[in-house]
Amino acid sequence: MNDEAHPRTDAAALAPTETLARLARANVLVVGDAMLDRYIHGRAERLSPEAPVPVLAIEREVALPGGAANVVRNLTALGAAAAFVSVVGDDQTGSDLTGLIGGQPGVEPWLLVQGGRTTTRKTRFLAEGRHLLRADREQTDPIEPRLAERLLRIAQDAMAVTSLTVLSDYGKGVLSGGLSRQLIQKAHELGRKIVVDPSNGDCARFAGADLILPTAGELAQATGMAVGDDDEIAAAAASLMARHRFGAVMALRGTAGISLFGPGDPLHVRLPHGVPLDLFGVTDAVLAILAAALAVGLALPAAGQLAGASARLVATRIGAVVPTPADLLATLAEDASAP
């Protein structure tokens, strides 16, 4: 990131409205696995006579960009600009996904097409907002080597005109092999920060990243350490940073919330107790707001506070929620007024 253009700003230095307005000036590159999320909504009021399963009376269907493309969707909801580099197949799902991504304001899409590849599609069946079933169609083997070389060239060019790079790895083959290491090296050569959402405990592939967001399970897998409470999470995060030269670690702890470790004091953000929680989309929302905040020069603790507000907002709403500045402003106001 160009710190000269975006000097780091403390959380207390800006009012919430000014902070959120500043996020709209972010310009972020996202590289990762794109997929299509389909939602089939309806009501389930009886069981099938053919098998003991509910019958869903379909009322509506929705298709949205998913995976790394959902990170882009979250960025544009903040008013930020995003360049997006990914790979789709030459199938109908890839065509539909390309249209959805290209139709978003503020997005510069670079969706490379691999012939014969299956574009990932996740279909969720919901009854009155509650999940009944998810059906996936996907291909997870690495993208073709020549396509990976082309993707790397495009991403390197895009880094030069953006402030920060996000690697959103869903394990679908885009960020395979040595591509992640090459992207991180190039980002650092250009003076850009890089934020990573890994797909599993193999965090070594992202060594040197400025910020990585493993789940608690991925953190345990990567370090072989317990992660049951705040102290154990802190010890595991410290070990991960030392092993792989990460600047900071944000552990995504499911219903327990999020914990941020790096320069300064740890930050723990708890999710509400006693209310239904839907964790779908929390990671992408948190990743997007961290990227936007760091891209415009907010200090890491300030970015973490915004990410915490985003996590609470998304987790307490049902469905594919994408926070807007107005949503976040209301959440921050609620936090400020809480006893």
Residue 60 lies in a domain: no
Residue 236 lies in a domain: yes
The model's pLDDT over 300-320, given as tens digits with 9 standing for 90+, comes to 999 999 999 999 999 988 777
Q: Would you say residue 39 lies in a domain?
A: no
Q: What is the mean pLDDT of the chain?
A: 91
106 in a structural domain? yes
Compute the distance between CA of residue 76 and CA of residue 70 in angstroms, rounded to an integer: 10
Catalytic residues: 284
Token pair belonging to 327: 């949503």
Is 42 within the bounds of a domain? no
pLDDT higher than threshold 70 for residue 154: yes
Region 258-282: mean pLDDT is 88
Q: In this prediction, what percent of the chain has a pLDDT beyond 90?
A: 77
Tell me, yes or no, whether 244 lies in a domain.
yes
Whole-prediction pTM: 0.91
Contact 170, 142 (CB under 8 A): no
Does residue 155 have a pLDDT over 60?
A: yes
At 337 the pLDDT is 64
pLDDT band at 86 (very low <50, low <70, confident <90, very high): very high
* Cα 325 to Cα 121, 254, 275, 279, 336, distances in angstroms: 29, 24, 23, 20, 16
pLDDT at position 263: 87
What pLDDT shows up at residue 10? 54
Whether the pLDDT of residue 101 is over 50: the answer is yes
Cβ-proximal residues to 30 (8 Å cutoff; 6+ apart), any chain: 68, 71, 72, 75, 82, 83, 84, 85, 165, 166, 168, 291
> Tokens representing 40?
């089939």
Q: What pLDDT score was predicted for residue 2?
A: 43
The pLDDT tens digits of the residues spanning 36-82 come to 999 999 999 999 999 999 999 999 999 999 999 999 999 999 999 99
Instruction: In whole angstroms, give the CA distance from residue 245 to residue 232.
Output: 19
What confidence tier does 336 reach under pLDDT thresholds 50, 70, 90? low
Domain containing residue 93: 11-34+66-119+140-337
| pLDDT range class, residue 9, cuts 50, 70, 90 | low
In a domain, 314, yes or no: yes
pLDDT of 3 above 50: no
How much of the chain exceeds pLDDT 70, in percent? 94
By mean pLDDT, which of 33-42, 88-97, 117-126, 330-339 is the weakest?
Answer: 330-339
Average pLDDT on 103-113 reads 94
* Domain CATH number, residue 312: 3.40.1190.20
In which element (H, E) is residue 180 found?
helix 179-189
**Reported confidence tier of residue 11, pLDDT bands at 50, 70, 90:** very low
As a whole number of angstroms, the distance between CA 197 and CA 118 comes to 23
Total domains present in the chain: 1
Per-residue pLDDT at 164: 97
- Summarize the confidence of residues 236-240 as an average pLDDT: 97
Confidence grade of residue 17 (pLDDT, cut at 50, 70, 90): confident
193 burial level (CB within 10 Å; 0-12, 13-18, 19+): buried
| 49 belongs to a structural domain | no
Per-residue model confidence (pLDDT) at position 1? 37
> What whole-number distance in Å separates Cα of residue 129 and Cα of residue 240?
37
